[in-house]
Structure 1
Amino acid sequence: MNRSSQVLLIKCVTFILIVGIGVWLRFYFIDWNKEDFFQQMQVRLAGDEVGYDLAARQLIEKGIYGYAPYAYSTEPNAFTTPGYPLFLAACYLIFGYGVEPPIKEIQLTQLVMDAVTGIFLYLISLKLLRSFPISCILLILYYLHPSFILAPSYLLTETLYGAFFLLFVLLLVRYLDNDLPTKLQSLTLGLIFGVVVLIRPAIVPFLGLFLTCLIVFFVKKRVVLQSGLLILTGFITIMLPWWIRNLFILHKWVWLAEQAGNPLLWGTFPYNENPPIDVSNDPAVMKRMAMERIKEGFQNEPLLYMKWYTVGKIWILLKDIYSGFLGIHNLILIRLHRIIVIMGLLSWLLSLFVEWKNDRRIVWVGILIGISILVYLPFAPTSRYFYPVVPLSLLGVGWLIRRCSFSIIRLKKHNT
């Protein structure tokens, strides 16, 4: 066996070992034969899990799609986009369900998704950083992070969204690798972005910015215009059934979802985790109340509200580890999480200046991170919203390691 074959074998064994440990960790925490604290927490549905479960049941049993927190919706609505309820409904039909949903089967499905998401991160890192050791380090950090170990245990959007979000990032990086992306690349990029938006719609502004910059700044206008139209076609193909459904069933245009009023109102109470809000209010009413509170807040207490809607909410988004309803209270883990995330985000800011003219892939991933944070600042801050940004923060850490390695190598060569 020659040296190149040995190196390839070592890389394959290392990669398989890391993935195997990551999968084992996830299996460990959803082992139904264990009667420990983790197991007791996993068998309960709480919070948004209840709404998603009931939405899936209603869709299957009555053919009605509607979402109402903690209850059946009495009529069709567009309170949330249908991505995750459709996923749950498919799982219920495949695995069967009774009084209880097929929790174990859904957990196992989401476990596989999360393991594959880690591989997406590894592939993105290889593309951007071109370093097998650094990519393995990032994969290890992903598989060891409590958020990604525990999230598959819950009937929430995080695992599904995280998988398609990183798949989109991977396709975006590959798309930007080529001066002349293929038609299939363009169409697929739009299709996957549509799926991402159907699961969580907040990221939709990225598409408008990307297509605008694509057309304005790229030289080969005809090719770029064709590519942009194909991306838009893919996105519309996914979203069109949702738009048509809303028009014919609800008799109005609903482009994304109507739930924004609820989290928007919750986000108008600076540093108050339990504001006096009646969650049964109509989302449109809550939106009007929110806009009034925001206007009054910036008029009467401008400094407080300015801080709250910038650094205040950003700190709350990143300071805690998201882990479903289990909660992580280990101070060491929380501090490590904060160090990694802050280091990663600062590294991305630095990379935007360093790589501005050299690597448009890094620039666009950095812009995606910024939009993924900014779109949530008007709403109630919760670590759930920051969940998909954590893997991209890890990429920032990887970029910093790579730059520092190059600097050390250059310094050694200079000294010798």
Structure 2
Amino acid sequence: MMAVWEGDRIRPGVVIVPGLTQTKDLKFVVEVAELLARNGWNVLTIDLRGHGDSRRLSAAMITGGWKETDDILGAVRHLREKTSSSSVAVVGFSMGGRSLVKAMAQDEGRLIAAGIAVTAPLAAGPPLAPPDPGVAPTPLGKFFLEFLGAPSFYEYYSRAAASYGVDLRTMEAQMPADASIARVKKPLLMLYALDDFQSLLQLKLGRHDGGIFSLAYRDTVRDNPHVRTLLVDRGNHAGMLYLSDPHWFALTMLTYLKHWQARDVDHVTAAAPPLDVLAEGQLEAHTARYQVVVRNHGPRAAGVVDVHIRIPPGARLEHCWAGFEGLGRCATDGTRLSWTLPRLTGGKTSAGPFVAVVDVSRMKKGPFATTVWVTTVERSLSLLEKDTVTIPQHVTLERR
């Protein structure tokens, strides 16, 4: 996905790179891209080789950060050529962050203006070996193997290495980024959380240095003025670090990139909405049930706050409530359902759930989308989607 500003103003660009098993259409990737675009950046989100659209269009296999370096550098060139961006930064999550570090080391400061690597596993793992029939893979390992479509990591990466004309050990040597990070010559922020479940799993497996998530790389960059590490108490792994506190993550990301890419450019900003929305939907026989929670991550209270759901054409509202069934009915205006909160306290306060059950039995079979958004009287008296103070959420269900 690419979002490009029109007009003759020069703007910076950002490439967003998801991690292993992740694609550019995930909620956190879409929202991070929209935040950057709203603040004045040209944005390109990509699927690394072996993922999403890239997997459908190419047989290129995953290499754990080695060849993914080429994917990132190619995306940076593409964004710069198509948009005439003044500079291009990269935000990479998990394996996307590892690949970013390797790309910045290889680039030597020519293409990538700045980078943010979120919970990136830089270190080498244990050498891959044929699986022991008596040892079952961990639940996380099973998840990855299902995604790869392989009986073992050894089998998959052996085939991957052969497809690139090298043996497995040669490819394994190219995967880590803990040594190459010393060659980074542009600003790079390494972002980690102490409660990262993947890092904690390494400890449970007996890798007491953190395994692939070891932070020992900091010794190699102690004298490198370009690399900084930010370690936070909580936030978990990859996109969950954003989802746990979108306001903090957005301000950190936007402030860092504006400083290095557009410090004195007024039309590039670093503003993040303190309110955000969590929305989900579930299809139950002939009805669709939607649940919404609103969070205020900012320090100040917000009010008056209106929470809205736009139900699909052809759907009919059966009932709606806030908190407990039967309480806090919604107001209706055509296909828009709304609840009003006189005040939502700041400091990571939540309100909800706001629930709507709609009859979809008369709708055609196939996918249908619902939009969720929030408006405030402080911002505008309008209740329409275009005046939302949050990034709108889109929930898609499908009648079969």
TM-score if structure 1 supplies the norm length?
Answer: 0.24
Higher strand share: 2
TM-score if structure 2 supplies the norm length?
Answer: 0.25
Higher helix share: 1
